[in-house]
Amino acid sequence: MFSKEESRLLRQEFWTSFGKSFPRKWVLYDTKLKGFSFKFHFDTKFALVALDLEDDLENRIKYWEKLQALKSILLDEYLSDAIFEEEYLLENQKEISRIYVPLNEKVSIHNKNTWRDVMEFFNEKMNLFEAFFEEYKDVIDG
């Protein structure tokens, strides 16, 4: 077991190391679309990259319908393992819509031996998510 402080320092070390290993500016929250963001998630149980729709229900539905229309393109040309969940419950019980790609192997941010795999996964999958977004941003926002 790690203390809260040890865990915090490990998390900080991972993200610093990731930034140094793959130095680039990710889109993440800078999509210019309200409530539409990309996220990296890595904890003691799993890792994933996600596209989250967190705005009011009306906006979520608008973007979700556009993404559903583009689903076959996303799956066929970019991320064949993407999972679409219109109603995804976060740990804080907030409901969002999420498209995500999980890393299907046992990883933990507390285990440095898994870090390289997670970093490479993050880089590969988020690059593909962003490429899809750049190509179809006008359709999503249209």
pLDDT digits (tens, 9 = 90+) for 23-52: 999 999 999 999 999 999 999 999 999 999
CB atoms near residue 98 (< 10 Å): 21
CA–CA separation, 115 and 18 (whole Å): 9
Mean pLDDT calculated for residue range 3-28: 94
Q: pTM of the prediction?
A: 0.92
> What secondary structure letter does DSSP report for 77?
I
Q: Say how far apart CA 74 and CA 16 lie, in whole Å.
A: 30
Q: What is the pLDDT of residue 88?
A: 95
**Rounded to the nearest 5°, which phi and psi values hold at 22?**
-130, 70
Beta bridge partners of 52: 37, 98
